[in-house]
Structure 1
Amino acid sequence: MSVASARDFGQWEGTNPQIREWFQALMQPDNPAVSCCGEADAYWADSFEVDGDKYVAIITDSRPDEPLRRKHIDVGTRFVIPNHKLKYDQSNPTGHGIIFLSRGDYVYCYVAPGGV
């Protein structure tokens, strides 16, 4: 078992309770005992490409980083998503594709856009 460090800096204040519960219940597809982390580790990635057998998520998140205390990632930055990190088993109520990243850009989970 590995540990994922989720950060809560008050980012849940003002968040729709249904979406907050979804974030808090989201578990890594390859390690269902470990959280995908929370909103502080999440970046919108509404665009994607498929390159052969590789899924590539493209950052579209232009929200300010400081309120979430997350590192800045430029819009348009691409991340290859390991197949074992693609999350397909739950609907996505956010309206956004979401990539959950560590500060070192390790992919915890990726949830495709769409599906409510």
Structure 2
Amino acid sequence: MDRKRVIGIALNVVIALLAGTTINARDLGQWDDPANADLKKWYRELKQPDNPAVSCCGEADAYWADAFEATTDGQYIAIITDPRDDEPLGRRHRDIGTRIVVPKNKIKWNEGNPVGHGIIFLNRADSVFCYLPPLGI
């Protein structure tokens, strides 16, 4: 078999494995209070704009990002403004003022937001699942 064909087969296997991988939101029980039922449902139903079958993940992956920058070359940068304690949310600490470049395909413009903050959903390596800009943008 030639090298290009082997590489092509290997890439197809990797793509198939990644397509079958699910991303689970981390629900740590922080929304078990019946008064938070609607908010819990909203987090669970929020889907990635570029992959509507996949969750944005949950509160344990969410950081308030009420500030942003738009660069002259069209990049969108979310700035973390979240002062909440990370431990009860089970999330990795990120300092206020941390800037995260948001890929355009991860920005959700079409979603209501009951939280009242811009929200960025990040994995442990700072890859963006979703970004909901602050209201009024």
Q: TM-score, normalised by structure 1?
A: 0.92
* 1:97 partner letter: G
C-alpha distance after superposition, 1:66-105 (max 9, x if no partner): 0011110000000010000001121111100000000111
Superposition CA RMSD, Å = 1.4
From 76, 81, 98, the equivalent of 1:60 is: 81
After TM superposition, the structure 1 stretch with the greater mean CA deviation from structure 2, 105-114 or 12-21, is 12-21
Contact 2:76 2:102 in 1 (8 A): yes
* 2:37 partner letter: P
- 1:1-116 matches, cutoff 5 A: 1=19, 2-14=21-33, 16-52=36-72, 53-114=74-135
| Unmatched 5+ stretches in structure 1 | none
Larger radius of gyration: 2
Percentage of matched positions with identical amino acids: 58
> Where has structure 1 moved over 6 Å in runs of 4 or more?
none
> How many residues are paired up?
115
Q: More strand by proportion, 1 or 2?
A: 1
Q: More helix by proportion, 1 or 2?
A: 2
Query: Could you say which structure has the greater relative contact order, defined with CA pairs below 8 angstroms and 6 or more residues apart?
Result: 1
Contact 1:11 1:40 in 2 (8 A): no
| Unmatched 5+ stretches in structure 2 | 1-18
